Structure 1
Amino acid sequence: MSQLQKSLRLPQIISLYIGAVLGSGVLFLPGVAASMSGPLSIVSWIVISLAAVPLALTMGLLSAFYPSSGGVSHFVSEAFGKSFGTVIGWMFLLSVPTGVPIIALTGSSYLGQLFGWGHSGMVLGAAAILATVLMINFFGVKTMGFIQTLVISLILFVLLFAIFSSLPHVKTEHFTPFAPNGIWAAVPTIGILFWCFIGWESVTHMSGEFNDPGKDALKGVFWSAGIVSVLYIMLGVMVVGTGSYTGGMAETALSHMVQLSFGKPGAIGVSITALFISIASANAYVSAGSRIAYTLSQQRVAPRWFGTVHSNYKTPIGGLLFIGIIFAVLLTAVHLRWLSFETLLPFPNATYFATYIGGAAAGVKLLKNHKIGRIASMASLVLTLGFFPFLGWVALYPVSVVLIVFIWNAKKKTTQTVPLNS
Structure 2
Amino acid sequence: MNTSSQLKKTIGMPQAVALYVSAVLGSGVLIVPGLAAELAGPASLLAWGGMVLLILPLALSMGLLSARYPDAGGVSHFVTLAFGQRAGTIIGWFFLMSVPIGAPVAALTGAGYMTAALGLGEHIRILIAAIMLAIGLIINIVGMQVAGKVQIGVVIAIVAVLVMAFLLALPNMDSIHYTPFMPHGWVSIGQAGAILFWCFIGWEAVSHLSEEFTDPRKAAITGVTIAAIIVGVLYFLTALATVGTQSYLHGGADVSLVWIISQPLGIWGAWIAGLTGIFICTATVIAYAGAASRVGYALARQGAAPRWMAHLSNRFHTPVAAIGFLGICFILVLSVYASGIVSLTTLIQLPNATFILTYLGGCAAGIRLLKGSRTGVTISWISFVATAIVFPFTGWAVLYPVLIIILYGLFSRKQPSKI
What TM-score do you get using the length of structure 1 for normalisation? 0.80
Q: What does residue 411 of structure 1 align with?
A: 413
Q: Equivalents in 2 of 1:314, 1:218: separation in Å?
A: 26
Q: What does residue 54 of structure 1 align with?
A: 57
- Report the CA distance between 1:359 and its aligned residue: 0.8
Cα pair distance change 1:51/1:350, threshold 3 Å = farther
Q: Equivalents in 1 of 2:295, 2:226: separation in Å?
A: 31
1:168 to 168, 171, 174: 171
Q: What CA RMSD, in Å, does the superposition of the two structures yield over aligned residues?
A: 4.0
Cα pair distance change 1:56/1:240, threshold 3 Å = same
Cα pair distance change 1:127/1:197, threshold 3 Å = same
Q: Equivalents in 2 of 1:282, 1:392: separation in Å?
A: 25
Q: Equivalents in 2 of 1:16, 1:142: separation in Å?
A: 11
Aligned partner of residue 333 in structure 2, secondary structure: helix
Cα pair distance change 1:296/1:220, threshold 3 Å = closer
Moved more, 52-61 or 395-404: 395-404
- Report the CA distance between 1:361 and its aligned residue: 0.4
Cα pair distance change 1:186/1:99, threshold 3 Å = farther
Preserved CA contact (<8 Å) 1:255 1:270: yes
Per-residue CA shift, 1:163-190, capped at 9, x if unaligned? 1211122245554665666654554543
- Report the CA distance between 1:244 and its aligned residue: 2.6
Cα pair distance change 1:310/1:230, threshold 3 Å = closer
Preserved CA contact (<8 Å) 2:95 2:358: yes
| 1:305-324 pair list within 5 angstroms | 306=309, 318-320=321-323, 322-324=325-327
Mapped pair 1:159 → 2:165: no
Mapped pair 1:209 → 2:212: no
Give the count of matched residue pairs.
409
Mapped pair 1:80 → 2:86: no
1:118 to 86, 108, 121: 121
1:228 to 231, 254, 267: 231
Paired AA for residue 171 in structure 2: P
Q: Equivalents in 2 of 1:67, 1:142: separation in Å?
A: 17
- Report the CA distance between 1:364 and its aligned residue: 0.9
Q: What does residue 248 of structure 2 align with?
A: 245
| Structure 1 spans left out of the alignment, 5+ residues | 418-422
Per-residue CA shift, 1:298-325, capped at 9, x if unaligned? 4333345656778999975653454344
| Structure 2 spans left out of the alignment, 5+ residues | 1-7
Preserved CA contact (<8 Å) 2:18 2:148: no
1:30 to 28, 33, 36: 33
2:337 to 323, 334, 337: 334
Q: What does residue 376 of structure 1 align with?
A: 379
Aligned partner of residue 166 in structure 1, secondary structure: helix
Q: Equivalents in 1 of 2:281, 2:134: separation in Å?
A: 13
Per-residue CA shift, 1:17-42, capped at 9, x if unaligned? 54654344323333344445544433
Cα pair distance change 1:230/1:322, threshold 3 Å = same
Moved more, 325-334 or 253-262: 325-334
2:106 to 103, 107, 113: 103
- Report the CA distance between 1:103 and its aligned residue: 1.9
Paired AA for residue 156 in structure 1: V
- Report the CA distance between 1:95 and its aligned residue: 2.0
- Report the CA distance between 1:350 and its aligned residue: 2.7
Paired AA for residue 257 in structure 1: I
- Report the CA distance between 1:376 and its aligned residue: 1.5
Paired AA for residue 119 in structure 1: E
Mapped pair 1:363 → 2:385: no
Per-residue CA shift, 1:26-65, capped at 9, x if unaligned? 2333334444554443333233323333222322222332
Preserved CA contact (<8 Å) 1:64 1:208: no
Q: What does residue 420 of structure 1 align with?
A: none
Preserved CA contact (<8 Å) 2:94 2:355: yes
Q: Equivalents in 2 of 1:182, 1:404: separation in Å?
A: 44
Preserved CA contact (<8 Å) 2:15 2:152: no
Q: Equivalents in 2 of 1:15, 1:131: separation in Å?
A: 20
Q: What does residue 199 of structure 2 align with?
A: 196
1:149 to 149, 152, 172: 152
Moved more, 271-280 or 175-184: 175-184
Cα pair distance change 1:187/1:371, threshold 3 Å = same
Q: Equivalents in 1 of 2:154, 2:195: separation in Å?
A: 23
Q: What does residue 344 of structure 1 align with?
A: 347
Q: Equivalents in 2 of 1:163, 1:218: separation in Å?
A: 29
Q: Equivalents in 1 of 2:163, 2:338: separation in Å?
A: 34
Q: What does residue 257 of structure 2 align with?
A: 254
Cα pair distance change 1:209/1:102, threshold 3 Å = same
Q: Equivalents in 1 of 2:317, 2:12: separation in Å?
A: 32
Q: What does residue 3 of structure 2 align with?
A: none
Per-residue CA shift, 1:302-355, capped at 9, x if unaligned? 345656778999975653454344434433443344433333223333322111
Q: What does residue 282 of structure 2 align with?
A: 279
Cα pair distance change 1:133/1:15, threshold 3 Å = closer
Cα pair distance change 1:153/1:43, threshold 3 Å = same
Q: Equivalents in 2 of 1:364, 1:139: separation in Å?
A: 36
